[in-house]
């Protein structure tokens, strides 16, 4: 289990650097789901954590009170829960910071967007139904138990997430599927993409969104290390991705388009086929 520490925050409703959102709310520092491709690992630098990502979680214990104060003087906007942690990671079962923050947003004109890998979000259906505008996204990367064990060791299984998505949809909560990152070899097979489309559509998701792996140095080091060590059969695919990214991404987009023709659910691609960073 991660080392849990309670901390006081000065601000919880923060301006978003992501254009589609006005604000972000991150109720926790760190994330116990411990995904090895997590780009939020850069947060360690800003929060002076030296322990490995996934082994520490700071609980912003006063976040609901701080949010109340900030809401009094904030203009309505789109709020993301969350950008650098999972708002329904394990600590949320006990501390309920996300739940309490959502409660504060009832009777406001803010629009709430939740992104999670956890079925714990089902606990809060009562509150989600009271928000003026909300949608819940579930991130999916792999259905393979062994791949999950190495790449997202502490997160619930993809099937559990999709089951939760279906329940929320049945309750009238808008849902969507976020395939991110598409892991070369592991997520981009026709079989996996088909399964995502099938489950997304059957579960009542509004759409499926795809984002590619962005090989930031820390992320790339983790992903290539795990692949070399435990999945040697995937090395060639990973090399092709790294050295031929425009060709890989074009091929991926073509494959997604072809598969999408079998379904009525819509999809979006949010990566650029001409990446600028390597
Ligand atoms: S759930 Fe999201 S924030 Fe948490 S470790 Fe995984 S990728 Fe990072």
Ligand 1 mean position, distance from CA 238 (Å): 21
Chunked mean pLDDT (size 10), the chain, 278 residues: 95 95 98 96 86 95 98 97 97 98 97 98 98 98 96 97 98 98 96 97 98 94 96 97 96 98 97 68
Q: Are 203 and 165 in contact (CB under 8 A)?
A: yes
**What six digits make up the tokens of 96?**
């309920």
For residue 97, give its domain range. 1-132
pLDDT score recorded for residue 121 = 98
In a domain, 19, yes or no: yes
pTM of the model: 0.96
pLDDT score recorded for residue 272 = 85
Ligand 1 mean position, distance from CA 55 (Å): 12
Contacts of 29 (CB under 8 A, 6+ apart): 7, 43, 47, 49, 56, 57, 58, 60, 85
In a domain, 93, yes or no: yes
In a domain, 179, yes or no: no
DSSP tally for the chain: helices H, then strands E: 11, 11
In a domain, 79, yes or no: yes
Which phi and psi angles does 181 have, rounded to 5°? -80, 150
Query: In the chain, how many domains are there?
Result: 1
Pocket of ligand 1 (CB under 6 A): 31, 33-35, 38, 40, 85-86, 117, 155
pLDDT score recorded for residue 105 = 98
CA dihedral 86, 87, 89, 93 (to 10 degrees): 180
Ligand 1 mean position, distance from CA 72 (Å): 30
Ligand 1 mean position, distance from CA 266 (Å): 25
The CA-CA-CA angle for residues 67, 69, 71, to 5°, reads 65
**Cα–Cα distance measured from residue 110 to residue 149, given in angstroms and rounded to the nearest whole number:** 37
pLDDT score recorded for residue 44 = 85
In a domain, 203, yes or no: no
Q: Output the 3-class SS for 94-126.
A: HHCHHHHHHHHCCCCCCEEEEEECCHHHHHHHH
Atom of ligand 1 nearest to the CA of 85: 3
In a domain, 228, yes or no: no
Question: Does a cis peptide bond (omega within 30 degrees of 0) precede residue 92?
Answer: no
Which amino acid residue places its CA nearest to atom 7 of ligand 1? 38
In a domain, 36, yes or no: yes
**Cα–Cα distance measured from residue 82 to residue 45, given in angstroms and rounded to the nearest whole number:** 18
**Cα–Cα distance measured from residue 101 to residue 269, given in angstroms and rounded to the nearest whole number:** 30
**Cα–Cα distance measured from residue 66 to residue 26, given in angstroms and rounded to the nearest whole number:** 12
pLDDT score recorded for residue 278 = 45
- Ligand 1: residue of 26, 85, 160 to mutate (most ligand atoms within 8 A of CB) is 85
Ligand 1 mean position, distance from CA 38 (Å): 5
In a domain, 148, yes or no: no
């Amino acid at each position: 289990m991660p080392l849990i520490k309670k901390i006081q925050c000065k601000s919880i409703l923060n301006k978003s650097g992501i254009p589609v959102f006005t604000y972000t709310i991150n109720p926790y520092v760190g994330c116990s789901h411990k995904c090895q491709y997590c780009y939020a690992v850069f947060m360690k630098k800003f929060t002076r954590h030296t322990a490995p990502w996934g082994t520490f979680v700071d609980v912003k214990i006063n976040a609901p009170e701080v949010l109340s104060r900030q809401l009094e003087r904030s203009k309505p906007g789109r709020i993301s829960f969350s950008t650098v942690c999972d708002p329904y990671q394990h600590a949320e079962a006990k501390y309920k910071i996300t739940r309490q923050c959502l409660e504060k947003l009832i009777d406001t004109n803010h629009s709430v967007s939740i992104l999670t890998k956890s079925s714990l979000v089902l606990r809060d259906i009562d509150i989600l139904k009271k928000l003026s505008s909300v949608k819940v996204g579930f991130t999916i990367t792999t259905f393979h138990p062994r791949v999950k064990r190495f790449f997202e060791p502490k997160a619930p299984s993809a099937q559990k997430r999709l089951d939760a998505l279906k329940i929320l949809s049945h309750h009238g909560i808008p849902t969507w599927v976020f395939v991110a990152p598409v892991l070369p070899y592991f997520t981009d097979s026709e079989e996996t993409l088909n399964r995502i489309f099938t489950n997304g559509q059957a579960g009542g998701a509004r759409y499926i969104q795809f984002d590619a792996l962005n090989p930031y140095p820390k992320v790339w080091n983790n992903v290539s290390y795990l692949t070399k060590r435990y999945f040697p059969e995937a090395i060639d695919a990973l090399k092709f991705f790294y050295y031929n990214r425009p060709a890989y991404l074009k091929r991926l987009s073509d494959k997604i388009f072809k598969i999408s023709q079998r379904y009525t659910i819509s999809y979006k691609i949010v990566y650029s086929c001409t990446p600028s960073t390597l």
